Amino acid sequence: MPVQDAIPPAVAPAITQGVTGTLRHHEQFPSRHVAARNVDVWLPPGYDADPEHRYPVIYMQDGQNLFYPKHSYTGDEWGVDETMTALIGKHQVRPAIIVGIWNTAQRIGEYMPEKAVVTDPMPTGVEGFAPVPRKDIVSDRYLGFMVDELKPFIDAHYRTLPGRDDTFVMGSSMGGLISAYAVAEYPGVFGGTAALSSHWPAGDGCVVDWLAAHLPDPATHRFYFDHGTATLDAAYAPYQQRMDEAMRSHGYVEGRDWISRVYDGADHSEKSWRARLDVPLRFLLQPVQAAAPVKAGR
């Protein structure tokens, strides 16, 4: 049986407690590439009312941290459902489907851009965390799961706009690295990314160097980056400045197809990402008629 047919949405229960809107939970979604994991699918307001309407999709990493604190490993959540509902109500974003991909015990190995790694073992860039053996870095297989298994399932069972221009990927920290890597590795699948508090120190900044040499065409892709200035984020500025220079050199125009923001005082946490989540969502999901650059609003 093909993987995309293994879990029909009819048996995916709806999560309602603590969630704004409709959230479908797919337990232990199977894969030939990586370990099975849970997948949540949030449907925008009005999804059931118009069976002909189709929606853009954002695939988000660390899915257990997005919608309800009960399953978040920090006890805080991004509040993606509340933020999306508010933005849709104000007509500031296109209504979209959000796919939350839960992480596993192999989070670092699955999220570290594999082709960028040049050392063995790879330093994590976090004090107290041991270096990761090169053989444990399997992000190419993880992207294979996303592109070859999960996306076909979502497109087959939910009313998506499946093309590149309507398919995005988002994450924070290591999830930011894999999200940017996804667009560079699969430029025909993903049209844009939002990478919040990207953990550039992993591998001593090797991801910056790799992305600088593999950025896709700015005419067809969009990148959002940001970071704070406290806790882990305090170390990110020099790396992000290098990444920003690479964006400029590759022809990306800030405010149009690329955004880079610094949030003074913000730390490395779901609470901080929740506070500024509206900015990348408005950038990726701009209404068709929107022409003005997205501003931080603060």
- How many CA atoms within 13 Å lie on the side-chain side of 81? 24
> Distance between CA 36 and CA 101 in Å, rounded?
11
pLDDT at 11: 53
Sheet strands side by side (includes 222-228): 14-15, 22-29, 37-43, 97-101, 57-60, 167-172, 192-196, 222-228, 258-263
Task: Name the pTM for this structure.
Answer: 0.93
Written in H, E and C, the secondary structure of 222-235 is EEEEEEECCHHHHH
Residue range 44-101, pLDDT digits in tens: 999 999 999 999 999 999 999 999 876 666 767 899 999 999 999 999 999 999 999 9
Mind listing the pLDDT tens digit for each residue in 199-250?
999 999 999 999 999 999 999 999 999 999 999 999 999 999 999 999 999 9
Q: How confident is the model at residue 139 (pLDDT cuts 50, 70, 90)?
A: very high
- The count of other CB atoms within 10 Å of the CB of residue 12 is 18
Instruction: Please tell me the class of the 3-284 domain.
Output: alpha beta
Question: What is the per-residue pLDDT across 105-137, written as a single tens digit (0 to 9) for each?
Answer: 999 999 999 999 999 999 999 999 999 999 999
Query: Which ranges of the chain does DSSP label H, i.e. alpha helix?
Result: 80-89, 107-111, 139-144, 151-157, 174-185, 206-212, 237-249, 270-276, 278-284
Q: What is the largest CA-CA distance in the chain?
A: 53
How many angstroms separate the CA atoms of 240 and 247, rounded? 10
pLDDT at 294: 52
The CA-atom distances, in angstroms, between 17 and each of 25, 70, 190 are 13, 10, 32
pLDDT at res. 17: 72
Mean pLDDT of 274-296: 79
- pLDDT beyond 80 at 1: no
Domain definitions of the chain by residue range: 3-284
Instruction: Report pLDDT digits (tens) over 20-31.
Output: 989 999 999 999
